[in-house]
Structure 1
Amino acid sequence: MDALLIKNCHAILTGNRQQPRSTASDIRIRQGIITEMGSLTCQQGERLVDARDCVVYPGWVNTHHHLFQSLLKGEPQGLNQSLGAWLAATPYRFRGAFDEQTFRVATRVGLIELVRSGCTTIADHHYLYWPDMPFDGAEILFDEAQKLGVRFVLCRGGATQSRGLESSLPTALRPEKFDRWMEDVERLVQRYHQPSQHAMRRVVMAPTTTLHSTTPQELRESASLARKLGIGLHSHLSETVDYLDAAKAKFGMTPLQFCAEHDWIGEDVWFAHLVKLLPEEIAMLGASRSGIAHCPQSNARLGSGIADLIGLEQAGVKISIGVDGAASNEAADMQSETHAAWQLQRARKGMLAKPRYAGGTFEGGGDAATIEDVVRWGTSGGAQILGLDTGELRPGMAADIAVYRLDDPRYFGLHDSAIGPVACGGRAALKMLLCQGKVIVEDDVIPGVDLAELGREAAEAVKILQQRANVN
C-alpha cells in the first residue's frame, strides 16, 4: 500500500534521545515514508491499521551477525568453551561443510528469526571465503533478504592471513589473495551497493579481524579503498583480553592504537564487541566518533565480559546492538538481545560499584540503562552507524515500524505496556511489521513462509553438516 494509517497506538517509543516517547496515537505513511504523527483522521485511499492495545517501536537495526551460524546453535564441542577454543571447535570446524543449499537454509533461518522479533535492517559480517569457493554467499544473502523485504548490509569479511587453525579444515581455512579480495569488494559495490539514505542494500569493508586477518599494509589499503568507494568499515575488536596481549606482542601497542595507525578509526568505522578496552582507547573511540556493535548475549555465552556502553556513550562513541552469530547466541533475535543489553548494563554497574550504603541500602546498578536507552541503541543508534534514515519514528523517516501485540501472559500485569517488548524478554507477537512502508509481517505471519517446512529443512541441513564436519 502506498498510503497507510496506523491508528489508536497504545504507546509509541520513538528511538529518539530527546523525545523517547511520542504523545501521538496515529502514524501516517506515504510512499514508504512517515509523513505525519498525531491524532489523525483516515483519508480516502488509505489502508487503516487498528493498533488498539498495541505498542509501536521503530524496526530494530541489527549491526553485527554471522548468518551462516544459524545452523550451529548449541553445537556440543563448542558449547562450554571460551572464544579461542570455541572458534576452533565450531565455526572453523564447520565452515568447509557448507555448500550452497545448507548456506541458503542457514541464511533463511537467521533472517526469519530476526524478522519475527521486529528487525527490519540486518548487517551480516560474512567471512566464509576461501579460494575457488563453489558458491557465492553474497548473492544468496542479498537474495534471501530481498525475498523477505528487509534492508540488508553485507559486511564483506575475509582474511589473507591464517590464525594457525588450518589443521582442522585446511581447504576452507586457506586465506584469500588480497588483490582478489579487494576486486570482489569492488564487484559487490558495483552490483549491490545503494548510497541512498533509504537504501535497501549496502556493502561494507569488513576483514574478519583487524589484528589477525591481514598485514598492516593491507589493512591500510583496505581502508583507503573503502573510502574511495564510499562504503563503511567494520571488524571484530577487543572481544577478550587476548586482543590486548596479541597487539602488544605483535605491534607494541594497544588494539585500537594499531587500528588508528592504519586508518581504521573514524565516523565510518564500527567494531563488534569492544569488551576489553583501556581508558585511553575509550577516549580515542569517542573523539573519532567511531561506533560499537554491542553483542551482550554472545559475550555472556562465551564468558568474554560486558562492554561498558555507558562509559563509551559518555565518551562520544556511537552505540548500536548486534546479535552476533547463533553459534555463540542461541537466541539470535533483537528482542532477546535488547532484553540482555538492558539487564547486563545494570549488572555490570552493580559489580563495579564500590560498597556504599545510603539509609542502609546498597546502591547498585539499577539505574544504569533505561528501556528507552536500549530501544534507541537498537534502532536509531544502529541506523546512525549504517548511515540510514531509519530507526526513528518521526515525519520524514523511513517507515520501518514494528507494531507489537502484548496478548501473551508474559506481558499481563504490566504497569507500563510500552516497555514490554524489551523488559519482559521472549518474543512479543507482531500485529504488523513494515519496512520502507511495505508490510512484511501481518498478524504474526510472514507471507509465503512455512515455518514447519523450514524447521524440517534446518534439521536435515544440520545432519548434513554434522556428517561433513566429522568426515573432515
Structure 2
Amino acid sequence: MSILIRNAAAIMTGGAGSPDDPSRAAGPDIRIEGETIQAIGALVPIAGETVIDATDCVVYPAWVNTHHHLFQSLLKGDTAGLNASLTPWLAATPYRFRASFDEKRFRLAARIGMIELMRSGCTTVADHNYVYYPGMPFDSSAILFDEAEKLGLRFVLLRGGATKTRQLEAELPSALRPESIDSYIADIERLAATYHDASPRAMRRVVMAPTTVLYSISPAEMRQTAAVARRLGLRLHSHLSETVSYQDSAHAMHACSPVAFCGEHDWLGSDVWYAHLVKLDADEIAMLAQTRTGVAHCPQSNGRLGSGIAPIREMADAGVPVSIGVDGAASNEAADMISEVHMAWLAQRARRGMAAQAVYRGGSFEGGADAATVDEVVHWGTAGGANVLGLPEVGRIAVGFSADVAVYRLDDPRYFGLHDPAIGPVASGGRPSLAALFSAGMQVVRDDVIEGVDLQELRRESMSAVKAMLAEVG
C-alpha cells in the first residue's frame, strides 16, 4: 500500500542538526510504502495511492518515549503525595495504591496512558512496569503487550521488579512483597522467549529493568542480571540519581558515587540507560559518556517532585546518549510527549540561566537561551530515544526508516503568528491536533480520532475506578 503525505509546511527529521544529519527536510512530500518511508521530496501522486493533505501542517517523526509507568495513569493528582518529594511520595501514592490494581484496573490504566501518548504523536512506548509480586493473579506484562498491539503501538517492556524492599515498603500489603532472584530471572527468560524481537524496527522488545538497582537488588544480583540480559541479547534499564538521596545512599553503603557503583557491577555500557540522572558529579558524566550509557530525561516529573533539573546540556556535550521519557502520571499529570519536550526545551535554558552572574561578580553571560534548541529537543525525543532503545531504523523521517510519522495541524490560536511553523509543537506546547499518525506505516489516528476509542467512556471508567480505589485505601 502506498501513501503520500503531500505539501507539508515543514518537516522535522529527528536528525542531530549536523551537515551529515540534518534536522529538517525540504520535502514537501513523503511517500510511505508498506511499513517504510520510501521517498521524500517534491513527489507526484501515483495511481491508486492514498493522499494525505498536509497543507499548513508540520510533520515530525513519531515520538519515542523511553521511560513510563503506565499503571500510574489512575493515580494523577493524589492529594496525599501532591506536595511530597520523591521518598515520601513513593509511600504516599504508588505504594499506597499498588494493592488496588487488579487485572481490570491495570488494563484500564495502561490503555489511558497509551492513548494519552498517541494523542501527542507518540508511537513507541517503553514502560518501566514494576507491578509484579509472588502469587500475582494476573500477567501484567501480557496486558501491556496486548493493549499496545490493539492500538498499533511499538511497545518495549522494561521489566521491573525487586528482590528486596526499602524500609518504607516493609509494612505494606503483599502486592509489595519482593520476588526471588530466581523467579525474576525465570520470568525475564519467559518474556524474552515469548515477546522479544531483536530486529532493527521491532514492534516488541523486552528489557532487564530492576526497579532501582541501588535499592531493589543486591550488588551480586546486579552482576547476575547484567550477565543474563547480555546472554539473552536484552538491554538494561533502571532509575538512578533522581535525588540527592541516591548520592547519600551510595556513599553510605558503598563509599562511591551511584554511577561508579553501577560501573563496578556491570551496569554501564551502550546497552544501558537510566531514568532521571538529575544529581551527577562531573566525573560521573564523564563515566557515562565514556561508556555510552544513556539517559531518559523526565523533566516534568523531576519538576513536580522538586528533584531538580538534570544536566542534559552537559551530558549531551560530553557524548551521553539523550532521550526523553514522561515518567509515571502519578508524578506527572501531563504524561504526553508534547508537554514533556516543551518542558525539556525550557528547563535546560532555565538551568543554564541560573548559573548566570552579574559582571561585577565575575559573570560572563546573561542567560541560557542557547542551552537547547527546538531541533535538538526533537532529536532527543525521536532518534535519540530510538538509539537508547536499540532501534536503529526508528525515530527519523528518512528514506528506509520505519514509517512512524506524526502530521500536526497548527489550528489552535497558540500556534497562530509563528514565524517558523516547524517549532510549533515544541515551542508552543499544548496539544496540536493530529491530521494523521502512522505507526510502522499503519494509520492509527485519522483527523485527530483513534478508531475504536470512545474517550467519554474511557473518562467514565477512569472516574469510577478512582472513586473505588479511594474508598479502598481510606
TM-score (normalizing by structure 1): 0.98
User: 2:4 is matched with which residue?
Assistant: 5
CA separation in 1, counterparts of 2:429 and 2:317?
A: 27
User: 2:320 is matched with which residue?
Assistant: 317
Q: Which of these residues, 404, 409, 412, is aligned with residue 413 of structure 2? A: 409
Q: Which of these residues, 299, 303, 322, is aligned with residue 302 of structure 2? A: 299
Is 2:278 aligned against 1:275? Answer: yes
Q: Is the 8 A contact 2:91 2:169 kept in 1?
A: no
Q: Is the 8 A contact 2:84 2:305 kept in 1?
A: yes
CA separation in 2, counterparts of 1:21 and 1:379?
A: 13
Q: Is the 8 A contact 2:106 2:140 kept in 1?
A: yes
User: 2:465 is matched with which residue?
Assistant: 461
Q: Which of these residues, 87, 90, 93, is aligned with residue 87 of structure 1? A: 90
Q: 1:10 is aligned with what amino acid? A: A
How far off its partner does 1:168 sit?
Answer: 5.0
* SS in structure 2 at match of 1:430: strand
The Cα offsets for residues 225-260 of structure 1, whole Å up to 9 and x where unpaired, read as 000000110000000011011001111111011100
* SS in structure 2 at match of 1:125: strand
Is 2:237 aligned against 1:239? Answer: no
User: 2:351 is matched with which residue?
Assistant: 348
How far off its partner does 1:362 sit?
Answer: 6.1
CA separation in 2, counterparts of 1:362 and 1:284?
A: 28
Q: Which of these residues, 117, 123, 126, is aligned with residue 114 of structure 1? A: 117
CA separation in 2, counterparts of 1:178 and 1:288?
A: 27
Q: Is the 8 A contact 1:306 1:344 kept in 2?
A: yes
CA separation in 2, counterparts of 1:462 and 1:450?
A: 18
Q: Is the 8 A contact 1:64 1:293 kept in 2?
A: yes
Q: Which runs of 5+ in 1 are unaligned?
A: none
* SS in structure 1 at match of 2:330: helix
Is 2:394 aligned against 1:395? Answer: no
User: 1:100 is matched with which residue?
Assistant: 103
* SS in structure 1 at match of 2:193: helix
What percentage of aligned pairs have identical amino acids? Answer: 62
1:329-344 alignment, distance < 5 Å = 329-344=332-347
User: 1:157 is matched with which residue?
Assistant: 160
User: 1:426 is matched with which residue?
Assistant: 430
CA separation in 2, counterparts of 1:468 and 1:200?
A: 37
Q: 2:62 is aligned with what amino acid? A: G
CA separation in 1, counterparts of 2:374 and 2:144?
A: 32
How far off its partner does 1:366 sit?
Answer: 1.0
The Cα offsets for residues 322-343 of structure 1, whole Å up to 9 and x where unpaired, read as 0000000000000000000000
CA separation in 2, counterparts of 1:283 and 1:307?
A: 15
How far off its partner does 1:415 sit?
Answer: 1.1
Q: Which of these residues, 189, 197, 216, is aligned with residue 194 of structure 1? A: 197
Is 2:69 aligned against 1:70? Answer: no
Q: Which runs of 5+ in 2 are unaligned?
A: none
How far off its partner does 1:354 sit?
Answer: 3.0
CA separation in 2, counterparts of 1:294 and 1:87?
A: 19
RMSD, aligned α-carbons: 1.3
Q: Which of these residues, 432, 440, 443, is aligned with residue 444 of structure 2? A: 440
* SS in structure 2 at match of 1:155: strand
CA separation in 1, counterparts of 2:421 and 2:405?
A: 17
The Cα offsets for residues 402-426 of structure 1, whole Å up to 9 and x where unpaired, read as 0000011111111111111011111
How far off its partner does 1:171 sit?
Answer: 1.0
CA separation in 2, counterparts of 1:469 and 1:232?
A: 36
CA separation in 1, counterparts of 2:215 and 2:193?
A: 28
How many pairs align?
Answer: 468
1:182-221 alignment, distance < 5 Å = 182-221=185-224
Q: Is the 8 A contact 1:157 1:205 kept in 2?
A: yes
Is 2:371 aligned against 1:372? Answer: no
Is 2:449 aligned against 1:450? Answer: no
